[in-house]
Structure 1
Amino acid sequence: MGSWLDRLKTQPLDWLREKSCPPVLARVLTEVFDRPADDPEVAAARNGAFNYKNAVTISRNQQETGTWLNKVLEFEAPNNSRNRGPGMVNQFLSLVEYGWDPTHPIIHSSAGRMLRYVMEDTTADLFEMKGYVGTNEAATREILWALAVISAASLSRAGYGDDPSVVAVAERVLGELGEQYPEGGDPDLFDGQVEIAEESKEDGIYRVVKPGHHIPDMFLFYLMAWHPVFHTDEARVVVKRVVDYLMKGDEIALRLRQSAGKRYIKLVDLHISQWGRDEFADKRLGFLLHDLELLARTGTLTSSDKAVELLEWVLSLQDDDGVWRVDDHIEKAVSRSQYHYFPLEESWRGKHKKYTDVTFRVLLILRVLDRTCPL
């Protein structure tokens, strides 16, 4: 049985050692090369990740409630003077990408808040979501369930997947997916569509998601990718039906959840369902790496011709020394409030820093494929 990593032209570990920031190096050593936590080089890199400027800056703005700015799902750009910026879910996932884990009190604090949502605790503060429920008990239950799934997905990503309440949500979602994504047919996920005109990049037509239904968005894929409930042979059959539906694409890409007539979150399916090589090549490579990693972790990447073709294209971009120097395809700038995944380097002013981010992510995808879809 072959290895995806064996397809590399050259192994770039020494280059990554020299050029990477501590979070990238720590994750390369542990997630790609399986070095143990007590390895001295790993321990030094992990300590550097916990003290990394970008991550520490995020952590300092966490409030005693475990949230940021008393917000849970907000994804807007930072504006301190107006008390605006990304909320708990985005910032929590950003810190996890930097390599912070349940041993860190900042992660532990937010996890405690999310676990209350996972348990659908009706006494839990909903923060910015309060205005969408009021005294409507049905709306409260609906939004709590949406928060439970989002929280379970985030917690699974962070290493809390063995918590009984998270397991219960994962099992319930798997059961619902089996019903909502029938074998041999398309799911019935939407209840009409609405047009939103806000004179912003979020203008457009949105499909309205039926209450309690699961669309193939980032949060569903985080749950399927990281929670063991979805890693059995029986569960993989259901997961593949979700992926098959995703890869069919949809002429309307935007999604909207609403309760009692009030819109409370805008979503989108994974970008790989809509974009092809030309779109990703136009400075959207980070989004492609994100989606390919999720497909690899769910064990479904090789079942999609489109995903395989995109991965082959990415692999073809590697230089002879093992590094991905893909200036034409890397985002010029990415707001952390909009995208927690990429980049991890503090600054991209030095060209090699762009390359460490991309090189690490490609190696990670290949290593995951060695576990889930070996050659």
Structure 2
Amino acid sequence: MPLAWLLEHGSLPVQVRALTELVGPADDTRAALGGAYAHPPAVRLALQQRRDGTWGGQMLSVARAGDASFEGIGTIPAVRRLLEYGWEQDAPTFHAARKVLFRLLAEDLDPYYLYELRADAGTDEYLIRRGRALLREAAAATLAQLGCEADPRLRGAAVRLLDRVMAFVRATASAAGAETAPPLPANAAPPTPHFLVMLAYMPRFRSEHQDEMTRLLAFLSAPAAGDKPRGGAARRDLGQPQVVLGDPLAGVSETTGLPSMLAWLEVMARLGFLRRNPAWSALLDRLLNERDAKGVWQGRTTALAPPERAWDWPTFPLGDPAAARESLVADMTFRLAMIARLAGRTLEPA
């Protein structure tokens, strides 16, 4: 792990997180946390928060690739990007946002809380229900990353979400090989990336549901069965293709979209799934083999297209979008080192 190189070439968030997450907590690393709050993109993003705790009165919208002003950013990717920048979970900026996010966990169908999805949903009860479900999972993921695992509101939401996903997983398994798939149970829902992010930041909750985690890993390791869950093809949706119907990396080229791949590998590593899946472990090995003798990633930067989905947009880039190539390489080098550590690999500072 090229710590000295990361501290010289990485952005402020990469420097801070390399010290605090890869080296470990110590007095000198704690002192470095202030650098995350001085990062110009982080300051620009934080200053866009409204008095009601939201960013632009939106939730899932992401900024255009390369837009340093973060125009149109929604609350959920904004909060998660600030956390990725290295901001602490109790930063004052998050206080008002946390209140809004907890409101989204409620199991009601009030269309007011659809935010930017309200226009597309209209008065269609199915679309209102679907939109609230998307926002509920995304809010749960953000609250989990904010360190709210012990809050009973989040734990209650997590239990309900897990029950729905397990109903879908069981129904899918029982229908395997059938000529005509039976309709899904009314309470069944496929997993989404935000659901997986939520679980990734709730280790105690996962330990209480180990059997469900084993079934979930088996489902995620299988080839994706298609792009829509059974029974969903006939309904108009909300332009949020979020469901995960199997391994999303199966058959995907590594020449484009590497940051999105790393976002997936990180979630799997935090879940404890990466080391138990040979294909994901092999992909991590291949990416680690692209490092030079100093441990610096030397792959093709043409593959570093910024993610465009609400769940993985917050992870890359941590530096300024217009920064030099070394900043992007530092992002990749840091992220690979962190994933390797989460997966149980041994990294020695260089």
Q: What CA RMSD, in Å, does the superposition of the two structures yield over aligned residues?
A: 3.7
Contact 2:167–2:189, Cα closer than 8 Å, also in 1 = no
Which amino acid in structure 2 is aligned with residue 19 of structure 1?
H
Post-superposition CA distance 1:101-143 (Å, at most 9, x none): 3322222221110011113466764322334566677765554
Tell me how far apart the structure 2 counterparts of residues 166 and 143 of structure 1 sit (CA, whole Å): 19
Does structure 2 conserve the Cα–Cα contact (< 8 Å) formed by 1:283 and 1:328? Answer: no
Corresponding residue of 2:261: 288
Q: Larger deviation: 128-137 or 59-68?
A: 128-137
Q: Which runs of 5+ in 2 are unaligned?
A: 177-183, 346-350
> Which shows bigger deviation, 288-297 or 101-110?
101-110
Identity of aligned residues (%): 26
CA–CA distance in 1 between the matches of 2:245 and 2:316? 15
Equivalents in 1 of 2:325, 2:185: separation in Å? 45
1:365 aligned onto 2:339: yes
Counterpart of 2:198 in structure 1 is 223
Partner Cα separation in structure 1 for residue 245 and residue 260 of structure 2: 7
1:108 aligned to 2:95? yes
Residue 331 (str. 1) matches residue 319 (str. 2): no
Matches within 5 A, 1:26-105: 26-36=16-26, 39-44=27-32, 46-75=33-62, 77=64, 85-105=72-92
The one-letter amino acid of 1:65's match is D
Which digits, 9 at most, give the CA deviation of each residue in 1:177-214, with x for residues without a partner?
Answer: 333322992679xxxxxxxxxxxxxxxxxxxx987544
Change (3 A) 1:253 1:101: farther
Structure 2: how far apart are the matches of 1:147 and 1:289? 24
8 Å contact 2:257–2:306 — kept in the other structure? no
Q: Distance in 1 between matches of 2:25 and 2:215?
A: 35
Tell me the number of residue pairs that the alignment of Structure 1 and Structure 2 aligns. 336
Q: Is the 8 A contact 1:177 1:238 kept in 2?
A: no
CA distance 1:134–1:354, shift in 2 (3 Å): closer
Do the aligned partners of 1:253 and 1:268 also contact (CA within 8 Å) in 2?
Answer: no
Aligned to 1:245: 219
Which whole-Å CA distance do the structure 1 matches of 2:130 and 2:309 have between them?
A: 29
| Cα distance in structure 2, aligned partners of 1:210 and 1:24 | 45
CA contact (8 A) 1:76 1:85 kept: yes
- What's the TM-score once normalised by structure 2's chain length? 0.81
Instruction: Quickly say closer, same or farther: Cα 1:77–1:187, change in 2 above 3 A.
Output: farther
Mapped contact 2:46–2:93 kept (Cα < 8 A): yes
Q: Secondary structure of the residue that 1:95 maps to in structure 2?
A: helix
1:279 and 2:264 correspond = no
Contact 1:23 1:49 in 2 (8 A): yes
Where 1:182 maps in the other structure, the secondary structure is helix
Deviation of 1:335 after TM superposition, in Å, equals: 6.1
Aligned 8 A contact 1:21 1:345 in 2:
yes
* Structure 1 residue ranges without an equivalent (≥5): 1-10, 189-208
Q: Distance in 2 between matches of 1:277 and 1:42?
A: 42
Output the CA distance in 2 between the equivalents of 1:65 and 1:362.
Answer: 36
Distance in 2 (alpha carbons) for counterparts of 1:252 and 1:183: 16
CA contact under 8 A between 1:285 and 1:329: conserved in structure 2?
no
Contact 1:73 1:90 survives alignment (8 Å): yes
Secondary structure of the 2:261 match is: helix
> Kindly tell me: are residues 268 and 318 of structure 1, through their superposed partners in 2, closer, same or farther at Cα, counting changes over 3 Å?
same
User: What TM-score comes out, normalization by structure 1 length?
Assistant: 0.76
Per the TM alignment, residue 147 of structure 1 is displaced from its structure 2 partner at its CA by 2.4
Q: Distance in 2 between matches of 1:181 and 1:31?
A: 34
Counterpart residue number, 2:153: 165
**Alignment check: 8 A CA contact 1:67 1:87 kept:** yes
Greater percentage in strand: 1
1:30-86 residue CA offsets vs partner (Å, 9 max, x unmatched): 2222224xx234323x21111211111111211122222211222363999xx9723
Is contact 1:23–1:344 with CA below 8 Å preserved after alignment? yes
Are 1:317 and 1:324, in contact at CA under 8 Å, matched by a contact in 2? yes
Identify the residue that residue 128 of structure 1 maps to in structure 2: 116
Distance 1:321 1:178 in 2: 44
CA distance in 2, matches of 1:273, 1:84: 32
Q: Give deviations 1:209-268, integer Å, cap 9, x for gaps.
A: 987544333201101111135421x6233223223223323363368999x965324124
Does the CA-based 8 Å contact 1:216-1:246 persist in structure 2? no
Deviates more, 1:100-109 or 1:249-258: 249-258
Q: Distance in 2 between matches of 1:359 and 1:272?
A: 28
Aligned 8 A contact 2:59 2:135 in 1: no
Give the direction of change, closer, same or farther, for the CA distance of 1:251–1:239 in structure 2 (3 Å limit): same
> Quick check: 1:317 aligned with 2:290?
yes
177-186 or 149-158: bigger deviation: 177-186
**d(CA) in 2 for partners of 1:108 and 1:100?**
13
Is the CA contact 1:102–1:158 (under 8 Å) kept in the aligned structure 2? yes
Do the aligned residues in 1 keep the contact of 2:224 with 2:248 (CA within 8 Å)? Answer: yes
Q: For the residues of structure 2 that align with 1:64 and 1:186, how far apart are their CA atoms?
A: 49
